[in-house]
Structure 1
Amino acid sequence: MKNVFKTLEEFLKNIIPSEIKYVFKEKYETDQKYEFILVIEKKDFILFKDKKLNLIESVTNICNSQASTFLKKIVIDLEVLESYV
């Protein structure tokens, strides 16, 4: 799971704009899938869950495609952190 995590972490670092703060962590591994969690601030939610520009869905679709080299399904849970100023 460590190798998959490092690959996804590097991938996200290259596609998520640098001004967006996020935390990406491993959750667990089963026989069928690797599950991760991505925590973002509420103000950045639109980038990750907008119907036209859904970053999480796009990443998981790529990772779970037939062309993927990952042996198990990739699941990324999105958590939104309320920002207080």
Structure 2
Amino acid sequence: MTTQMIIRLDSETKTKLTKLAQAEGKNTSQVVRELIEDYIQNRDMGSYIDDLWDRLGKKLKARNVGSREIERAIYESRASKK
């Protein structure tokens, strides 16, 4: 479900935004949505960590690393820090 948001811009900024958006084949709403999505993604630690786990999982799977090897690596890493 989408919702509406109203923002206030000075007329010069709105004109520049509209022209730049049109040059990319977009409307101003699309540009603002992309900017907000990027803003949230860059500042949301949970999403960053989820993405990190996804990338780690894919790399481990590609290298055929199983859960036993992962558990052993965690154990060894923790033991070396004691």
What's the TM-score, normalizing by structure 1? 0.25
Q: Flag the structure with more relative contact order, 1 or 2, with Cα contacts below 8 A and sequence separation at least 6.
A: 1
Higher helix share: 2
What's the TM-score, normalizing by structure 2? 0.26
Greater CA radius of gyration, 1 or 2?
Answer: 2
